[in-house]
A and B are shown apart, each in its own frame.
Chain A
Amino acid sequence: MDVSEFLKMGGYAEYVWSAYGLTALVLLLNWSAARRREAQEQASARRRTGAD
C-alpha cells in the first residue's frame, strides 16, 4: 500500500483526518477527566476519613 496515497485520502485528507483526530481527542479528554475526577474524590475521601 502506498502510504502517501493513503494519507491523501483521495483529496479529502483535511476532512477525514480532522474528523478522526477530533474524535480521538474528545474521547481521550473524556478518559482523563473521568480518571482525574475519580482520583480527586478518592483523595478527598481519604483526607476526611483519615484512612489510607
Chain B
Amino acid sequence: MWLWFHKLASPPHAYRLLGKMAPWFGWPALAMMLLATWWGLVKAPADYQQGDAFRILYVHAPSAWMSMFIYVVMAVAAAVGLIWRIKLAHAAAAAAAPIGASFTFLALATGSIWGKPMWGTWWVWDARLTSELILLFLYLGYMALRSSFDDPQRADRASAVLAIVGVINVPIIHYSVEWWTTLHQPASVTKLDKPSIAMEMLYPLFIMIVGFQLYFGWAISRRLRGEILRRERNASWLKEGG
C-alpha cells in the first residue's frame, strides 16, 4: 500500500497520470455544463415569484458551492504537505488556489447581478456576502504569500499555515444564513427532509454542480502538471523525455 502510494506521489508518475486523466474530466465537464445551461435556461419553468431571474441560480449556487469545496481541498492538501512533507500535496494546494479564487469571484459577481433585481441592491454588508468576500481575500492572500518567497519550500510551509487557519471561514459561510439575519435566502436544496424547490428545477442544478466538479478536475490536472514541471526543473526524469 505504501509502495503504491509513493509511486503515485512521485513527480514523474503523477505528471504522466494527470496528463492521461485530464481529457476524461474536460470533455464530460463541457457536455454537462452545456446540458445544464440548456436545461436551466430553456427547459426549467420560470419561478412563480422571481420569474426568469431565478435562472441565475444555476450558475450562482454551483459557483458558491465550488468556492468552498475547493478551499477545503486546498487546506487538506496543504495540511497533508505540512504534516507528511509531501511536496506533491503542496503543489496540489498551489494548483487549486487560482481555480478556487475564480469560482469565488463568480459566486460574488453572479450573486451581485442576481441581487440587483431581487433585493434592489448590488451589495449589502451582511454575514453571507461578507464571509464569501473574505474567502476571496483568503485565496488572493494565499497566492500573494506564495509568490513572495523565492524558496519553494518556505513558500509551501508559510502558505500552508494560512490555508489551514483560513478553513475556519468555510463553516462560517455555510451557517451565516442561520446565525445572522441576512437578505440572502437560506439553503433550499440541502434540506433533505423536504427540499423547498421543485425537482424539475433541481436537475439542472445537480448537473451543473457535477459539470463544475469535472471542470475543477480538469483544471487542477493541468495546473498541477505545470506546477510539477516548475518544481522539478533540475530533476533527471525530465532528461529521460518523460
The DSSP consensus for interface residues of chain B is helix
Q: Which B residues are in CB contact (< 8 Å) with A10?
A: 46, 51-53
Interfacial residues, chain A to chain B (CB-CB below 8 A): 1, 6, 9-12, 15-16, 18-20, 22-23, 26-27, 29-31, 33-35, 37-38, 40-42, 44-45, 48-51
> In the complex, how many angstroms separate the beta carbon of B225 from the nearest chain A beta carbon?
5
Task: Return the contact of B110 from the options A19, A38, A42 (Cβ within 8 A).
Answer: A19
> In the complex, how many angstroms separate the beta carbon of B120 from the nearest chain A beta carbon?
13
Task: Return the contact of A38 from the options B51, B116, B222 (Cβ within 8 A).
Answer: B222
Task: Name the residue on B nearest A43 (C-beta).
Answer: B229
A23 touching B99, Cβ below 8 Å: no
23 CB < 8 A contacts A-B: A1-B42, A11-B52, A12-B51, A15-B114, A18-B113, A19-B109, A20-B37, A20-B56, A20-B59, A22-B110, A23-B59, A23-B63, A23-B110, A26-B106, A27-B215, A29-B102, A37-B222, A38-B226, A38-B229, A41-B225, A48-B234, A51-B238, A51-B241
Q: Which B residues are in CB contact (< 8 Å) with A51?
A: 238-239, 241
Task: Return the contact of A9 from the options B52, B99, B114, B219 (Cβ within 8 A).
Answer: B52
A27 and B215 CA atoms in complex are apart in Å by 9
The DSSP consensus for interface residues of chain A is helix
B226 touching A40, Cβ below 8 Å: yes
The size bracket of the interface on B is 35 or more
A15 and B57 CA atoms in complex are apart in Å by 12
A37 and B234 CA atoms in complex are apart in Å by 18
> In the complex, how many angstroms separate the beta carbon of B172 from the nearest chain A beta carbon?
24
A26 and B229 CA atoms in complex are apart in Å by 25
Interfacial residues, chain B to chain A (CB-CB below 8 A): 33, 37, 41-42, 46, 51-53, 55-56, 59-60, 63, 98-99, 102, 105-106, 109-110, 113-114, 116-117, 215, 219, 222-223, 225-226, 229-230, 233-234, 238-239, 241
A22 touching B109, Cβ below 8 Å: yes
B226 touching A41, Cβ below 8 Å: yes
Interface centre among B42, B56, B219, B230 (most CB of A within 10 A): B56
A29 and B60 CA atoms in complex are apart in Å by 18
- Given contacts A12-B51, A12-B53, A40-B226, whether A22 and B113 have CB atoms under 8 Å apart is yes
B233 touching A48, Cβ below 8 Å: yes
